[in-house]
């Protein structure tokens, strides 16, 4: 008899930001599968089997989960943030599609979580208050030419842009190229938000004008939110807020 696969998002870091729905799924699981640091965030009941694995083996993790569910287990795949945003939900469906006939009877459920750009926006105000997009700067699974094209089009449309996975030790040049693009297409005071290790004791938040931004400000634990031409900074006593108004001036973008 086939079991279930539930893909969950654990949020940015604070256990209080795990939804009750996800907490219930954790308590019901027989097996937990995921990247080492995400599995380490789980405190399951004693009978649960943990299956941590390294980075860049998403398809293998998904196939393992499906195989366990095929044997009748109730399998939890854990992601940070939201599982459907640059995370394990898409990998699960990639694996499912590869061998659809085998996995027909497995019950699949995706449970949402708080993704990094939402958590970061809440901490600094409302920078996502108008139209925005999210771009993953990792070129592990797509060519840089696609990333470059998407950044240019987002700039032309004047979106607020949330950048995920901006800069790793193995690929430090991508964020440098991104900054060159941003700095050449906007005014020097355009606000950029750096949110690192959100909701943990290592959290660091910065709101910096683009003219002062350097590539070293970001790493793989950082989400970067680049403001639109309308994003504003409001200073309230000692607090600095960033927000993007809900309205847009009645003018064309060139």
- DSSP-assigned states of every residue in 105-144: T-EEEEE----HHHHHHHHHEETTSS-EEEEE---SSS-H
Please state, in angstroms and rounded to a whole number, the distance separating the CA atoms of residues 77 and 218: 27
Is the model's pLDDT at 214 over the cut of 80?
yes
pLDDT at 249: 87
Report pLDDT digits (tens) over 80-115: 999 999 999 999 999 999 999 999 999 999 999 999
Name the pTM for this structure. 0.93
Contacts of residue 105, defined as CB under 8 A and 6 or more positions apart, other chains included, come to 2
pLDDT at 2: 76
Is the model's pLDDT at 144 over the cut of 70?
yes
- Do residues 39 and 51 make contact, with C-beta atoms less than 8 angstroms apart? yes
pLDDT at 252: 59
Residue 206, SS3 per DSSP = strand
Is the model's pLDDT at 44 over the cut of 90?
no
Is the model's pLDDT at 254 over the cut of 60?
no
> What's the pLDDT band for 45 if we cut at 50, 70, 90?
confident
pLDDT at 98: 96
Residue 38, SS3 per DSSP = helix
Please state, in angstroms and rounded to a whole number, the distance separating the CA atoms of residues 153 and 16: 37
Please state, in angstroms and rounded to a whole number, the distance separating the CA atoms of residues 171 and 162: 19
User: Percentage of the chain with pLDDT > 70?
Assistant: 98
The H or E element spanning position 64 is: helix 58-70
- Do residues 76 and 8 make contact, with C-beta atoms less than 8 angstroms apart? yes
Domains and CATH numbers, the chain: 4-114 (3.40.1010.10), 117-243 (3.30.950.10)
Please state, in angstroms and rounded to a whole number, the distance separating the CA atoms of residues 171 and 111: 31
């Amino acid at each position: 008899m086939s079991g279930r696969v539930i893909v969950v998002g654990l949020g940015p870091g604070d256990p209080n930001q795990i939804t009750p729905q996800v907490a219930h799924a954790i308590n019901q699981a027989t097996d937990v599968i995921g990247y080492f640091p995400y599995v380490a965030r789980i405190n399951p009941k004693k009978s649960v089997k943990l299956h941590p694995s390294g980075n860049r083996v998403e398809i293998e993790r998904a196939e393992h989960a499906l195989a366990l569910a095929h044997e009748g287990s109730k399998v939890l795949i854990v992601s940070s943030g939201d599982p459907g945003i640059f995370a394990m939900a898409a990998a699960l469906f990639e694996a499912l599609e590869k061998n659809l006939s085998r996995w027909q009877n497995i019950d699949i459920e995706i449970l949402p979580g708080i993704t990094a750009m939402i958590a970061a926006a809440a901490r600094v105000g409302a920078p996502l208050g108008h139209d925005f997009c999210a771009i993953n700067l990792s070129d592990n699974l797509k060519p840089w030419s696609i990333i470059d094209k998407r950044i240019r089009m987002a700039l032309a449309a004047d979106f607020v842009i949330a950048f995920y996975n901006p800069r790793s030790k193995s690929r430090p040049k991508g964020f440098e190229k991104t900054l060159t693009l941003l700095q050449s297409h906007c005014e020097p005071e355009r606000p950029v938000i750096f949110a690192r290790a959100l909701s943990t004791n290592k959290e660091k938040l910065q709101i910096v004008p683009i003219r002062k931004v350097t590539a070293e400000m970001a790493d793989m634990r950082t989400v970067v939110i680049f403001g639109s031409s309308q994003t504003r900074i409001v200073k309230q006593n000692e607090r600095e807020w960033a927000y993007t108004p809900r309205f847009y001036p009645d003018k064309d973008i060139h």
